[in-house]
Amino acid sequence: MRAAQLSKPRANAWSPSLGGLDKSLGTVLHCLEPLSAHTSLRLGGEADYFVNASSLQQISQSISFARQRTLNWMVLGNGTNILFPDEGYRGLVIHLGRNWGGWQLEAGGRLRCHSGASLGGLLGWLGQRGQHGLDFLVGIPGSVGGAVAMNAGIPQATIGARVESVRALDPQGRLLKLDHDGCRFGYRSSLFRRPGWVVLEVTLRLGEPGERRQGDWDAARLLARRRARQPLRGHSAGCVFKNPTPPQPSAGALLERAGLKAMRIGGASISALHANFILNRGEASSREVRQLIDIARDKVYKEFEVELQLELAVVSN
């Protein structure tokens, strides 16, 4: 794996301070953390503050730390569908990764997992135990929390359909348990994509081990299909745009028809394999990725009068 891109020096001399920090966060909260090391695009400057949280107490204390200092704050999972700016993030990033990534298979074919759990690791573990209810997610990178927030999946199946309940913090900091309907799942959307919501734990309905249900997918065949059609080995953030509402063609098809495959600006390029992926070829900047996004949207709109909507989370200050 290529080393993470170093962030550029700040334009001003200000630097964040940990003065007055609650001692309970002292070992997990850091200043000036390079975000390029935590995203699949390997892009982004430094976060003023960065926490690797491993408990609900640390998550709550981190939010309190930000609010007491009137800082912007946000949650980051595996960083596979996000673009941070070159200048970094002016505030606190709460990282829910492997330190908040446990899971447990329960009676009745229910799976309870923390939001930081890796989708790939989870699917491998389930497959070894004869559980195939989430096989349609194979090859999709990211964390369980991120997948639930954006209702990840394929045209025929989404993770939201398997969600029984979600424990989350709401924008007021209250700990809630929401049932499936309360999560408000839609196409690549849910309640949890709104600012201030933090997915903590998800309970999924899988069925009994070995049970195959209508709509289950062959993981090996689906993964081979993804590898043949998508640039899974490059530094990308997955699909950039949502697919338009049928009968419009997919975003990838529209981008390809507009002649945008392999278009390059600096170190960033639209994939020659799948036009809905933008790759960091090694020396890209977030600004160059944003330029490609803007050009792609403009060209598709001019040629087809279709306004593409972002699936990629683009962070700004």
Do residues 185 and 41 make contact, with C-beta atoms less than 8 angstroms apart?
Answer: no
Residue in 86, 105, 83 with CA at minimum distance from that of residue 208: 105
Do residues 185 and 153 make contact, with C-beta atoms less than 8 angstroms apart?
Answer: no
Cα distance between residue 32 and residue 15, in whole Å: 8
Cα distance between residue 92 and residue 276, in whole Å: 30
What are the DSSP calls for 245-262, one per residue?
Answer: STTSPPHHHHHHHTT-TT
Do residues 144 and 116 make contact, with C-beta atoms less than 8 angstroms apart?
Answer: yes
Lookup: tokens for 184: 């408000």
Lookup: tokens for 120: 């790939």
The catalytic residue positions are 188, 239, 311
Do residues 270 and 277 make contact, with C-beta atoms less than 8 angstroms apart?
Answer: yes
Lookup: tokens for 219: 């993981």
Residue 162: alpha-carbon gap to chain centroid: 19
Strands across the sheet with 103-106, in order?
A: 103-106, 110-114, 198-205, 163-169, 175-179
Residue in 201, 106, 103, 107 with CA at minimum distance from that of residue 148: 201
Place of tokens 């059609």: 229
